[in-house]
């Protein structure tokens, strides 16, 4: 047949050391489990970073509903059979951190940041310390003042897709009896 064999892909090896269609396997009590391959997680994070680059100038609810949600919902639907409880929490936190980063960058000036943090419910002193702290956007978007001002509930109201919520709903659906 004269087929060229890719020696990198065609190996006989332990299933734990290999990946297949973006999934990999791991040993657990009572057998093996299915998880998302680390390379697949890296790839989704890179593609989401690219979406964030394009979405920086957009209105946040529009960016979430039109750009971000379809991408992460599709990725989740492909990998939903994997054991990814911890990964789902990490991805949710990372997404919200990046969205807070967009908010912080939208506010460009310190006084704008101060007024918006006040509107979000922070005390005057806390908002002033946060807005004028001279730290970068990534630090501020992960700091306690942004987490207090814009908690998970805020992003749920904007319609952000949650991996944790979707995973719980999927597993509840799997455990429901079929009539």
Residue range 156-179: mean pLDDT, rounded: 86
Point out which residues pair with 28 in neighbouring strands: 31
pLDDT of 19:
77
In tens, the pLDDT along 16-73 reads 677 778 888 888 888 888 889 989 999 999 999 998 887 677 888 999 999 999 999 9
pLDDT of 69:
93
| Residue 86 in this model has a pLDDT that exceeds 80 | yes
Mean of per-residue pLDDT scores for the chain: 88
pLDDT of 92:
95
Q: Which helix (H) or strand (E) holds 26?
A: strand 23-28
β-pairing, 23-28 vs 19-20, is antiparallel
| Residue 109 in this model has a pLDDT that exceeds 90 | yes
Query: Hey, where are the domains in the chain?
Result: 39-171
Strands across the sheet with 23-28, in order? Answer: 19-20, 23-28, 31-36
């Amino acid at each position: 047949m004269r087929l060229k064999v890719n020696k990198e892909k065609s190996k006989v090896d332990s299933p734990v050391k290999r990946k297949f269609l973006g999934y990999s396997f791991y040993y657990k009590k009572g057998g093996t489990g299915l998880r998302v391959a680390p390379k697949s997680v890296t790839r989704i994070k890179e593609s989401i970073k690219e979406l964030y680059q394009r979405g920086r100038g957009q209105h946040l609810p529009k960016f979430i509903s039109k750009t971000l949600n379809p991408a992460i919902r599709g990725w989740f639907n492909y990998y939903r059979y994997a054991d990814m409880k911890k990964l789902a929490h990490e991805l949710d936190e990372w997404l919200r951190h990046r969205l807070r980063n967009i908010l912080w960058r939208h506010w460009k000036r310190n006084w704008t940041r101060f007024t918006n943090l006040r509107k979000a419910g922070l005390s005057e002193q806390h908002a002033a310390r946060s807005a004028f702290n001279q730290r970068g956007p990534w630090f501020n978007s992960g700091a306690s003042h942004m987490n207090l001002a814009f908690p998970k509930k805020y992003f749920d109201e904007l319609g952000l897709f949650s991996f944790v919520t979707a995973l719980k709903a999927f597993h509840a659906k799997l455990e429901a009896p079929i009539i």
